[in-house]
Every structure is written in structure tokens, then in C-alpha cells.
Amino acid sequence: MNYGSKRTVVGAHYGIRDWLAQRVTAALMVLFTIVVLAQLIFAQGEIGYELWAGIFAAQWMKFVTFGVIIALVWHVWVGVRDVWMDYVQSVGLRLTLQVFTIVWLVGCAGWAFQVLWRL
């Protein structure tokens, strides 16, 4: 009999890594939201296209925004993947839904890149 540290543990081992990823990405999104809201609150004049374009005109803001979009994509992937793994019993359907989710999220990130850099 072999007990203790040599015991083999099976499973996906996502636990703490995904829990931490959800918290870190959520914190990044909250900080970004606070920064954008602060810029809107302390802005002079009318809130319109010019103000929004001005906020996102700086190159550093584009990079920060895209970083937050990547964090959002990761946050969504972890959450949706867990829903598919928990509630979809058919392996084929679950794989199909996961692939569709990945394609959709990559497409959304690509679209966000195009919007930010006007490609």
C-alpha cells in the first residue's frame, strides 16, 4: 500500500489557477472602468464623439484597452468553459460549443484590435 505524497491525483487541475485568473482579470476590468469613468467625470465640455475619441487617441490607452480586452476574453473563456464542462454531458456537443466559443472570442478580440487601430 502506498499512501501519502505518492498518491496520484486525477482531474483537470484548473482549480486555483482559474479562480485566480477570474479574480485578476475582474480586478483589471474594474480598474480600467474606474479610469475611463474618471476621465469622463473630470472632462470639460459635452460628452460626445470628440471626448471618446480623445480618451482613446493616445497609443498607451489603446494598448491598455486592448490588454483589458484580452483580460475580458480570458475571463469569459474561463467562465463559459466551466459552464460547458459542468452542464453539457455530451462530449461531442461540449467540444463543439468550446470550439465555437474560442472562435467567437478570438473574432471579438480581432474586431476590437481593428476598432482600436482603425485597420
Q: pTM value?
A: 0.82
Mean pLDDT lowest for which of 4-13, 61-70, 71-80? 4-13
The DSSP result for 15-35, as a single string, is HHHHHHHHHHHHHHHHHHHHH
45-75: per-residue pLDDT in tens?
888 999 999 999 999 999 999 999 999 999 9
Look up residue 70 and give its three cell numbers: 484580452
Q: Is 3 annotated as a binding residue?
A: no
All residues at 6 or more sequence positions from 76 whose CB lies less than 8 Å from its CB, including other chains:
105
CA geometry: angle at 31 spanning 30 and 36, to 5°?
Answer: 100
64-91 mean pLDDT: 95
Look up residue 90 and give its three cell numbers: 455530451
- In the block, which residue shows the cell 474594474? 30
pLDDT at 78 over 90: yes
User: Which residue ranges form the domains of the chain, and what is each CATH number?
Assistant: 15-118 (1.20.1300.10)
Q: Is 13 annotated as a binding residue?
A: no
pLDDT at 11 over 70: no
